[in-house]
Chain A
Amino acid sequence: MQGFRREGTDRAPTIRFDYVNHVLELRGESYPEDVSAYYRPMFESLEEYFRTKAPKSLRMEIELIYFNSSSARVLMRLLDMLDRFAAGGRDVLVNWRHRPDDELIRETGEEFAEDLANLRFVLCETA
């Protein structure tokens, strides 16, 4: 498996997981009609990646403009999954990207970070 890709829409993010270079990207807006259906293939792919490739280190880039409350739950699940993976001795870096004036996205990132004990979570201002 080389990776997982899903092109976004105006209501769903673009997902680009590169399993060769171990860089996972999630960018855009997230308030799809059916949140579970949109993200299910991504979770399935990620589980297989962890199981079969077992990377020593990986980097996740999250740059979301807006996400609704159902998507927040999905993000928490994703971050919990990465955190558990990091607990097994893997180096996991999450870059949480937000515009400098975007207080809401920054605050939400801080809230997510509070509950993640094993991965490195970095808030990054975009240009």
Chain B
Amino acid sequence: MQVEEVFDFAKLLNSRGILLCYSGYFSEKVLSGLGDTLKMKMAVDETDLTTSKKVFSVFVEQAQNIIRYSADRLPETGGTNGELRYGLVTIGFDNGRFFILGANRVLSSDVPALRRRLEKISTMDKDELRSFYKEKMRGPVEETSKGAGLGFIEIARRARAPVEFGFKEIDDGSTFFFLRAYI
């Protein structure tokens, strides 16, 4: 890469209000490091407590979704202490709003169910999300879910507008997925 190319890339990120951008293999330590940096940045900017907690919360759920569900992964070996899964997280500030974007590959066969869950959540108002969250907090863990299956509802509850999401089929069996929430 020549310097112009690097400069243009940096300029692009800057013009989109990106505070933090990570693309690569995720581990729990990456999550911790990015999370601490995000907290420090919001403390320096004196972001109010509720906003900074919402941003942090959505970041954690997005990062943990990648760590648990990205279809792009390296197998577990002795040295890695768990699988490494590939994904992208960016956090930015634009027009007075924070946004947190998460993206990763998913299995195309998982897309219909994922799309249904997100479409359902994105049409719910705050009270419906609250009830749905409470129902899921006690209900059985969804089959494909290693976490509580609550992550998407948590993200939608913290967001100030319906979450944005999309899918793009890449090749045989794998689909690029993104989810963005505004705080």
Contact = CB atoms under 8 A, between A and B. Distances in A.
Contacts of A33: 28, 82
Nearest to A102: B49
Contact of A68 (B54, B60, B138): B60
B156 to A, nearest CB: 11
Interface stretch (A14-22, A70-78, A88-96, A118-126): A70-78
Contacts of A101: 48-50
Main secondary structure of the interface of B (DSSP, over half): helix
A9 to B, nearest CB: 10
Nearest to B151: A69
Contacts of B133: 111
A38 to B, nearest CB: 12
A59 interface: no
Interface residues of B, number: 25
A115 interface: yes
A10 B32 contact: yes
B121 to A, nearest CB: 13
A35 B60 CA distance: 14
Interface in B58-88: 60-61, 64, 82
B56 A66 contact: yes
Q: Which 9 A-B pairs have the closest CB atoms?
A: A69-B150, A73-B148, A69-B154, A33-B28, A70-B147, A70-B148, A76-B137, A103-B50, A69-B151
Given A76-B137, A104-B57, A111-B130, 6 more contacts: A68-B60, A68-B154, A69-B61, A69-B147, A69-B150, A69-B153
Interface of A: 10-11, 31, 33, 35, 66, 68-70, 72-73, 76, 80, 99, 101-104, 111, 114-115
